[in-house]
């Protein structure tokens, strides 16, 4: 399948091998499956990228690249797909993950949002003078949301990866089928 204008701008295996910091890993980048643009490689790259993009808040591109190399899926697509979580999408993703995790773990009853806002406002006014108190409080808060958040992120990552794989694979098949039908109509009209 021919590459679109976006994919022509992605770095090639040769250009990556020439980068000084990637030279020790150059032999891993030579496998042809990492650079193929076929249905399985691209769908697999999207799945790997979405998994690491949703699950891990740091080193996403690096971990997705390692997984793409290990699983032999498209490396540039895997790296690009991690950008599903960015500064704009990060808060809603983590809030949704926390809510899903709370539902699955049977967490505390839902608290009205006004109570949460009032509690936060009260905590901020009490601690405004305490510069040193923010870090222990942050750790306590993370412990309280830890298990639901991790469980929710894991579920979102697995579901997102599976949905991404199926969606890309289905759209790819649809696009190929549409092209074949167009070709066959064109050949039939030329033959007549």
- d(C-alpha 8, C-alpha 159), whole Å: 30
pLDDT given for residue 100 in this prediction: 92
- d(C-alpha 24, C-alpha 148), whole Å: 39
- d(C-alpha 176, C-alpha 183), whole Å: 11
When divided into structural domains, the chain yields a total of: 1
- Domain with 113, as residue range(s), is 5-191
CA separation (Å) from 81 to 84, 159, 179, 188? 6, 15, 26, 40
Confirm if 78 and 45 have CB atoms less than 8 A apart. yes
Q: What's the chain's length in residues?
A: 192
Tokens of 139: 């750790």
Report H helices in the chain. 5-8, 13-17, 39-55, 60-71, 75-81, 90-105, 113-127, 134-191
CA separation (Å) from 27 to 13, 24, 132, 192? 10, 8, 49, 53
Query: Given its phi and psi angles, is residue 106 left (phi above 0), alpha (psi -120 to 50 degrees) or beta?
Result: left
Confirm if 7 and 42 have CB atoms less than 8 A apart. no
pLDDT given for residue 13 in this prediction: 63
pLDDT (tens digit, 0 to 9) for every residue of the chain, 192 residues total? 455 665 566 666 666 666 676 666 666 677 767 788 899 999 999 999 999 999 988 889 989 999 999 999 999 999 999 999 988 888 899 889 989 998 988 876 444 444 444 454 455 445 444 555 656 665 676 666 688 888 999 999 999 999 999 999 999 999 999 989 898 888 888 876
pLDDT given for residue 117 in this prediction: 45
Nearest to 81 by CA among 180, 89, 28: 89
């Amino acid at each position: 399948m021919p590459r679109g204008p976006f994919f022509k701008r992605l770095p090639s295996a040769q250009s990556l091998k020439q980068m000084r910091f990637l030279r020790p890993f150059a032999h891993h980048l030579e496998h042809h499956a990492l650079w193929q643009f076929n249905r399985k490689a691209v769908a697999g790259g999207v799945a790997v990228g979405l998994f690491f993009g949703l699950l891990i808040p740091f080193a996403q591109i690096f971990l997705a690249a390692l997984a793409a190399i290990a699983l032999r899926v498209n490396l540039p697509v895997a790296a690009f797909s991690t950008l599903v979580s960015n500064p704009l999408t990060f808060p809603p993703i983590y809030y949704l993950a926390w809510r899903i995790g709370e539902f699955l773990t049977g967490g505390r009853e839902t608290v009205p949002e006004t109570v949460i806002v009032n509690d936060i406002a009260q905590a901020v006014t009490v601690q405004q003078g305490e510069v040193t108190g923010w870090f222990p409080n942050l750790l306590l808060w993370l412990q309280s949301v830890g298990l639901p958040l991790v469980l929710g992120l894991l579920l979102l990552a697995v579901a997102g990866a599976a949905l991404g794989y199926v969606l890309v694979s289905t759209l790819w098949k649809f696009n190929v089928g549409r092209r074949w039908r167009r070709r066959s109509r064109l050949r039939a009209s030329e033959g007549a």
